[in-house]
Amino acid sequence: MKLFDLSGKTALVTGAGRGIGRSLALGLAEAGSNLVLCSRSRDELDAVAREAEAFGVEAAVAPCDVTDAGQVDAAVHAGVERFGGIQVLINNAGLTVKKPAEELPLEDWQHVINVNLTGVFLVAQRVGRQMIRQGEGSIINISSIAASTALRGSLAYCASKGGVQMVTRVLAVEWAPHGVRVNALAPAYTETPLVKALTDSRPDFAEAVRRRTPMQRMARAGEMVGAAVFLASGASSYVTGETVHVDGGWTACGF
């Protein structure tokens, strides 16, 4: 099990205050990693930090809007100052807007692309520079089944997540000589506050997802942790440029 041990490493996690980001942050802490926790909500981050420190690690809170390069730089700097380096990045911050394509306002399109794709680029670039200086690192971009299967009413989200997969591949190829691995994790619909907003507004939505998924249920946020620890740790030392689907069989199912 030493292959999966993250003791002595530091992980920066965006969107760490809730949902998948929170679960991944706590999962990495349980595996031994110190944390730099980023999101726009200080209160949520403080709560996650307290939970993480119960595993015997240190957790720094760095409120950050991933679309603001200055704030991203400040968060990375704070992590390096506190821990001496950043060995793992969980690039998780994201959002969606559910509207038919013909009714999607330009400002909604731009907002989703800015957070989900430009934000991933900014954080990966800034953390990647530090990892290149270190000569090591593992970046895990959170993609989605929406990168490879069309979801109705989710044009901007699908486009952004498809972009995340190509960002992942290009960075993996460019940064492999520097000892930096870049992979993506692609969940299916997961029980998070973001998805709860959809199910609350559309009572039939959860049942439709259940029927479409071979495992007949949505994912739980904690079910992303195993794949993330694998990609963050020495267990995946020769894995880069890949997307790991944690989707209950969604993308394998043609009907």
Instruction: Kindly list the catalytic residues.
Output: 157
Q: How far apart are CA 48 and CA 59, in angstroms?
A: 9
Q: How far apart are CA 92 and CA 24, in angstroms?
A: 9
What's 177's DSSP letter? G
Q: How far apart are CA 207 and CA 217, in angstroms?
A: 9
Instruction: Tell me the β-bridge partners of 35.
Output: 11, 59
Q: How far apart are CA 14 and CA 39, in angstroms?
A: 6
Residue type, 164: V
Q: How far apart are CA 173 and CA 41, in angstroms?
A: 34
Determine the distance from the C-alpha atom of residue 24 to the mean position of all C-alpha atoms in its chain, rounded to a whole number: 8
